[in-house]
């Protein structure tokens, strides 16, 4: 198949805004199995979780900007933690939405990606993801974070620009499955940490202080968003 690198501008425009044929069902299922094999084993997850952290902190940053806050920068750390710093009113709806965006961003991104893939817009998904990573790179404020985003963005760029259509499809479906499946695990990890007295300054605890709603209710919201996104996105990907 012809790669994007060999296409004319008209072909590129058509591939970005047009639709591509859906891959075989076995490839969709295989992509899900690969994603599950990355999310479940602890050793592999410790590395792969960096990608979820990118989406998590990117969610904080995007909502901060959309709610009128000033985004000072984003840091990603080698222990897969992250920090997004924004300035503005320390209370109110803008701060609440910004704090709530972290744990909900990966599964919602996966749900949005599933919607694009189910409508045949594989190339559009890859290019949108690349653009978001490039935009995020501008706000990264530490070397490890920059390296992580460059590696992720480079992978999307190479696949979207050079890979044949079937490879693009396999990569896109694996990424979306990973966001959906990987978006579920962090809320359970946070729940475990809080049960053992840790994570006292987690997003759920910050939201509790902002809204006077118990942190456990916010944790329930994180679970609900991630599990509903997985069920809805999975149905779209499997076309059932």
Contacts by residues 217-225 (CB-CB < 8 Å, ≥ 24 positions apart): 218/100, 219/187, 219/190, 219/191, 219/194, 221/100, 221/104, 222/103, 222/104, 222/186, 222/187, 222/190, 223/187, 223/188, 223/191, 225/103, 225/104, 225/107, 225/108
Under 8 Å between Cβ of 5 and 161:
yes
pLDDT attached to residue 200: 75
CA geometry: angle at 152 spanning 146 and 150, to 5°?
Answer: 30
First to last CA, the chain: 28
pLDDT attached to residue 7: 59
Asked if the structure places residue 122 within a domain, the reply is yes
pLDDT attached to residue 130: 95
Asked if the structure places residue 38 within a domain, the reply is yes
Under 8 Å between Cβ of 63 and 39:
no
pLDDT attached to residue 1: 45
Asked if the structure places residue 105 within a domain, the reply is yes
User: Which residues, given as ranges, of the chain have pLDDT below 50?
Assistant: 1-3
List, in sequence order, the alpha helices (H) in the chain.
9-17, 25-39, 42-66, 93-118, 122-137, 143-162, 165-182, 185-195, 203-211, 215-238
Asked if the structure places residue 12 within a domain, the reply is no
Asked if the structure places residue 17 within a domain, the reply is no
Residues 6 or more apart in contact with residue 97 via CB below 8 angstroms: 63, 67
- Which of 63, 47, 73 lies closest to 146, judged by CA? 73
- Domain that residue 86 falls in: 30-238
Q: What 3-state class would DSSP assign to 144?
A: helix
Asked if the structure places residue 16 within a domain, the reply is no
Asked if the structure places residue 148 within a domain, the reply is yes
pLDDT tens per residue across span 118-170: 999 999 999 999 999 999 999 999 999 999 999 999 999 999 889 999 999 99
| Count of domains for the chain | 1
Q: Which residues of 151-185 are buried (b: 16+ CB within 10 A; e: fewer)?
A: ebbebbbebbbebebeebbbbbbbbbbbbbbbbbb
Q: How far is CA 179 from CA 68, 69, 106, 160, in A?
A: 27, 26, 5, 18
Asked if the structure places residue 19 within a domain, the reply is no
pLDDT attached to residue 2: 47
Predicted TM-score (pTM) of the model is 0.92
């Amino acid at each position: 198949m012809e790669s994007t690198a060999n296409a004319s501008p008209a072909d590129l425009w058509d591939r970005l805004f047009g639709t591509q044929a859906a891959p075989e069902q076995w490839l969709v299922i295989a992509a899900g199995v690969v994603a599950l094999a990355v999310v479940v084993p602890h050793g592999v997850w410790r590395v792969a979780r960096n990608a979820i952290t990118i989406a998590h902190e990117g969610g904080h940053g995007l909502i901060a900007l959309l709610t009128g806050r000033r985004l000072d920068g984003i840091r990603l750390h080698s222990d897969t933690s992250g920090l997004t710093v924004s300035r503005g009113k320390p209370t109110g709806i803008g701060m609440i939405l910004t704090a709530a965006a972290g744990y909900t961003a990966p599964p919602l991104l996966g749900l949005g990606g599933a919607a694009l893939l189910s409508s045949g817009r594989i190339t559009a998904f890859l290019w949108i993801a690349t653009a978001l990573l490039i935009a995020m790179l501008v706000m990264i404020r530490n070397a490890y974070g920059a390296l992580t985003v460059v590696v992720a963005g480079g992978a999307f760029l190479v696949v979207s620009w050079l890979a044949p259509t079937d490879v693009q499809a396999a990569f896109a479906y694996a990424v979306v499955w990973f966001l959906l499946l990987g978006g579920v695990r962090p809320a359970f990890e946070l729940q475990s940490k809080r049960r053992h007295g840790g994570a006292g300054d987690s997003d759920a605890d910050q939201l509790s202080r902002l809204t006077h709603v118990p942190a456990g209710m916010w944790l329930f919201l994180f679970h609900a968003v991630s599990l509903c996104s997985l069920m809805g996105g999975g149905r779209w990907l499997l076309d059932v």
